[in-house]
Amino acid sequence: MSDMRRCLERQDREIKERRGRRVEEKRVQQEEDEAIAIAVGLLEQSSQGHNHCSQVGRGPNVDRHKHSWDKNLLEDYFIPNYVYDDVKF
């Protein structure tokens, strides 16, 4: 009977040890998750100051007529009635 008791006690110890390891692993995982969340928050906070997109309170975007740049280049330099002569070109 004492062998049975020792076996049961050993099983109880092993079960408690496994539970303790799981609790510790869960605690470590929670700490890592918190550290990651803090790091992501800091990165987002630091990148907010460098945002050059349209924002409330900023002036409107300047229309630079990019759609006509190639046409203007051809008209200014490469057609018979060009604007700039060989010296300026």
Go through the chain and tell me how many residues it has: 89
pLDDT of the residue at 57 = 73
Of the two residues 60 and 84, the one the predictor is more confident about is: 60
pTM to 2 decimals? 0.45
Q: What domain range includes position 18?
A: 1-50
| Cα distance between residue 3 and residue 65, in whole Å | 91
Answer whether residue 40 is part of any domain.
yes
Give the mean model confidence (pLDDT) for residues 19-24. 95
Whether the predicted pLDDT of 53 surpasses 90? no
Q: Has residue 85 been placed in a domain?
A: no
What's the domain count of the chain?
Answer: 1
Name 76's Cβ contacts closer than 8 Å, sequence gap at least 6. 82, 83, 84
27-52: per-residue pLDDT in tens? 999 999 999 999 998 888 777 665 55
